[in-house]
Amino acid sequence: MELLKLLNSNEVIIQIISFLVMLTVLRFLLWGRVLKALDARKEKIAKDLSDIEAGKASVEEFKRLYADKLGAIEETARGRIQEAVVEGQRVVEQMKRDGQNETKQMVERAKEEIQYEVRKAQTEFRDQVADLVVTTMERVIPERLTAADDRKIVEELIKKVDATS
C-alpha cells in the first residue's frame, strides 16, 4: 500500500500514454522490420531445412548408387572368379589329356623297343645256336664240310624249329 501512496495518478496516466505512444511509434517504425526480419529468418531456416532434406536425399541416392556399384563389382568379381575356376579346370583336364597321350606314346615306344630287342635277341640266339650246332657237328661228324655247307644246314634247321613253334 505504501507503494500506491507514492504513485501519483497523473504520473501513471502519463506513463501509460507514453507507453502507448511509444508502442504505436515502435509498431509503425520497427514492428514491420522486426516481422520482416523474423519472416526472413523463418524462410532461411525453412530453406536450410529443405536443403538439408535435399542433401539427405542426395546422400541416400549416392548410398544407393554406391551399393549398386559395389554389388555390380562383387558380381563381376564372382564372375571372374568362376571364369578362373572354369579355366583352371580346363587347363587341368588338358594337362591330364596331354599326360595320358604322352604316356600312351611312351608305352608305344617301349613296346617298339621291346620288339626290337626281342628280334635282336632272337637273331643273336639263332647265330649262337648255329655256331653251337656247327661246333657240335664238327665234333660228331668226322668229315669236314665247308663253312657254307654247315651254315646252310643250320639255317634249314632253324627254319624248321621256327615253323614248329
* Model confidence pLDDT, tens digit, residues 72-87: 999 999 999 999 999 9
Which of the residue ranges 51-55, 82-86, 141-145 would you say has the lowest mean pLDDT? 141-145
The mean pLDDT of the chain is 84
Cα–Cα separations (whole angstroms), residue 151 to 10, 120, 135: 174, 19, 11
Best-predicted range by mean pLDDT among 27-36, 41-50, 132-141?
41-50
The answer to whether residue 43 scores a pLDDT higher than 90 is: yes
Residue 110, C-alpha cell as written in the block: 617301349
Q: pLDDT above 90 covers what percent of the chain?
A: 46
Which residue type occupies 40? A
Q: Determine, yes or no, domain membership for 58.
A: yes
Q: Determine, yes or no, domain membership for 98.
A: yes
From CA 144, how far away is CA 20, in angstroms rounded?
Answer: 173
The pLDDT score that the predictor gives to residue 142 is: 55
From CA 153, how far away is CA 133, in angstroms rounded?
Answer: 9
The answer to whether residue 144 scores a pLDDT higher than 70 is: no
Q: Determine, yes or no, domain membership for 7.
A: no
From CA 7, how far away is CA 11, in angstroms rounded?
Answer: 7
Domain count, the chain: 1
Please enumerate, as own/partner, the contacts of 153-159 that have beta carbons within 8 Å and a separation of 24 or more.
154/129, 154/130, 155/130, 157/133, 158/126, 158/129, 158/130
Name the percent of the chain in helix, strand, coil, to the closest 5. 95, 0, 5
From CA 9, how far away is CA 11, in angstroms rounded?
Answer: 5
Average pLDDT (120-134) is: 79
At 154, the pLDDT band (50, 70, 90 cuts) reads confident
Q: Determine, yes or no, domain membership for 18.
A: no
Domain containing residue 116: 32-164
Cα–Cα separations (whole angstroms), residue 12 to 4, 21, 22: 11, 14, 15
Q: Determine, yes or no, domain membership for 75.
A: yes
Q: Determine, yes or no, domain membership for 1.
A: no
Q: Determine, yes or no, domain membership for 150.
A: yes
Average pLDDT (128-137) is: 74
The pLDDT score that the predictor gives to residue 75 is: 92
Q: Determine, yes or no, domain membership for 15.
A: no
From CA 44, how far away is CA 55, in angstroms rounded?
Answer: 16
Is residue 133 a contact partner of residue 154, using CB atoms and an 8 Å limit?
A: yes
Which of the residue ranges 77-91, 115-129, 134-148 would you say has the lowest mean pLDDT? 134-148
The pLDDT score that the predictor gives to residue 3 is: 60
The answer to whether residue 113 scores a pLDDT higher than 60 is: yes
